[in-house]
């Protein structure tokens, strides 16, 4: 298998190349983000490629996992980012409404949760909604199982939140669950680890690689929180084929859109099909099948409230995105309108 094929290159990406691009540019995959320079893996090996200024302010900005076209010179310059098959995004930290793409062209997102903090079903639901919106498959990976008093109860909580997504128990220290974890990746596929700092993501990456590639650190004793030991996203090729992307810890994904809510809460959607009214909001309407399931103990009330909270957040996010788009459009037209006013003023004076 060629280097690019092992990295996931296939017809979806090759079909995007024109004959001229195929003959004059190099194809590579971004394996590490280094600011204005990205480490890109080509058939002939890794090279640092320059991100030109016009790409930094455009969409999409290249990130770990992207397939890119570069010039053949030294250093190579990124000419184009190929269209992505999937993109794991969140609203960037801070008050601005800005999409931050965490990883591109991912097949499976491994949501890691350390059981020293508990199963955290509400956090899992939020993260899984973002994963479903990305176009990738989700899987939940529970670590530090030796630190939870009742593993069966923790598994039940995680499975209820996962809505059918695989839930694994794994340890990068003992090796438990590593074969099942590697089986989710497979030849030509890419996985990305997400989860809070200290959950054990980098330890799992090192175990899958069979070497200490990523730094790991102990959690703080006073609050059992992890420290950021991984500072940038990197893509690694696994010995048994397939790739994994590891990156800084993310305690909570702020939703970028509502596209993954239906899949993340498909059990609620299935119940809602039995409601008397098609537009039932499950908030006290007569004949509400969802409320009936909560009363009968077949649906956790916390899960329904979690869905409502995420729906409100997604609606607010959509309104903010619309406002941000309107502001951007206004700014785009501002210099044009100024030029028009100058033109009319000069014409009237003439």
Tens digits of residue pLDDT in 18-40: 999 999 999 999 999 877 889 99
DSSP 339: H
Residues 6 or more apart whose Cβ sits within 8 Å of residue 274:
289
Q: How much is the mean pLDDT over the chain?
A: 86
**Peptide bond just before 60 cis, omega within 30 deg:** yes
158 is in an annotated binding site: no
Of 348 and 178, more confident? 178
Q: Is the pLDDT of residue 182 over 80?
A: yes
Q: How confident is the model at residue 215 (pLDDT cuts 50, 70, 90)?
A: low
Q: Indicate the fold that domain 87-246 takes in CATH.
A: Rossmann fold (3.40.50)
57 is in an annotated binding site: no
23 is in an annotated binding site: no
97 is in an annotated binding site: no
Q: Is the pLDDT of residue 344 over 60?
A: no
Task: Domain ranges for the chain, please list them.
Answer: 3-81, 87-246, 265-299
Rg of the chain (C-alpha set): 23
Q: Indicate the fold that domain 3-81 takes in CATH.
A: OB fold (Dihydrolipoamide Acetyltransferase, E2P) (2.40.50)
198 is in an annotated binding site: yes
54 is in an annotated binding site: no
The owner of tokens 């992890």 is 226
Q: Which two tokens stand for residue 51?
A: 């991100």
202 is in an annotated binding site: yes
Q: Which two tokens stand for residue 113?
A: 């949760």
Find how far residue 78's CA is from the centre of its chain: 23
CATH of 265-299, one of 1.10.40.50, 2.160.20.60, 3.40.718.10, 1.20.1250.20: 1.10.40.50
143 is in an annotated binding site: yes
309 is in an annotated binding site: no
Share of the chain above pLDDT 90, in %: 65
pLDDT of residue 270: 94
Distance CA 78, CA 92 (A): 24
pLDDT digits (tens, 9 = 90+) for 299-333: 999 999 999 999 998 888 888 777 554 555 455 55
190 is in an annotated binding site: no
- The H-assigned helical ranges of the chain are 3-6, 11-14, 19-24, 53-56, 121-134, 151-162, 178-185, 201-209, 261-264, 266-272, 289-295, 301-349
């Amino acid at each position: 298998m060629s280097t690019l094929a092992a990295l996931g290159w296939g017809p979806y990406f090759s079909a995007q190349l024109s004959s001229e691009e195929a003959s004059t540019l190099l194809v590579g995959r971004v394996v590490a983000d280094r600011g204005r320079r990205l480490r890109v893996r080509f058939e002939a090996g890794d090279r640092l490629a320059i991100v030109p200024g016009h790409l930094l302010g455009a969409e999409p900005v290249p990130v770990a996992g992207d397939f890119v076209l570069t010039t053949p010179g030294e250093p190579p310059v990124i000419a184009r980012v190929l269209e992505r098959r999937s993109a794991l995004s969140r609203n960037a930290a801070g008050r601005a409404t800005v999409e931050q793409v965490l990883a591109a062209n991912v097949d499976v997102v491994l949501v890691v949760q350390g059981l020293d903090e508990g199963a955290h079903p509400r956090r899992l639901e939020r993260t899984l909604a973002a994963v479903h919106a990305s176009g990738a498959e989700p899987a939940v990976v529970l670590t530090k199982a030796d630190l939870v008093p009742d593993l069966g109860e923790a598994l039940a909580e995680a499975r209820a939140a996962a809505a059918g997504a695989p839930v694994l128990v794994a340890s990068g220290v003992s090796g438990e669950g590593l074969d099942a974890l590697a089986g989710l990746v497979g030849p030509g596929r890419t996985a990305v680890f997400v989860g809070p700092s200290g959950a054990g993501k980098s330890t799992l990456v090192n175990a899958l690689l069979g070497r200490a590639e990523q730094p790991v650190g102990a959690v703080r004793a006073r609050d059992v929180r992890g420290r950021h030991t991984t500072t940038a996203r990197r893509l690694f090729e696994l010995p048994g084929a397939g790739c994994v992307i590891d990156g800084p810890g993310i305690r909570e994904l702020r939703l970028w859109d509502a596209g993954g809510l239906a899949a993340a809460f498909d059990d609620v959607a299935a119940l809602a099909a039995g409601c008397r009214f098609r537009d039932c909001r499950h908030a006290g309407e007569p004949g509400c099948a969802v409320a009936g399931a909560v009363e009968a103990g077949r649906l956790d009330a916390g899960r329904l409230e979690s869905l409502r909270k995420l729906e409100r957040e997604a609606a607010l996010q959509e309104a903010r995105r619309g406002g941000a788009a309107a502001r951007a459009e206004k700014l785009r037209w501002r210099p044009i309108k100024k030029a028009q006013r100058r033109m009319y003023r000069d014409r009237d004076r003439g």
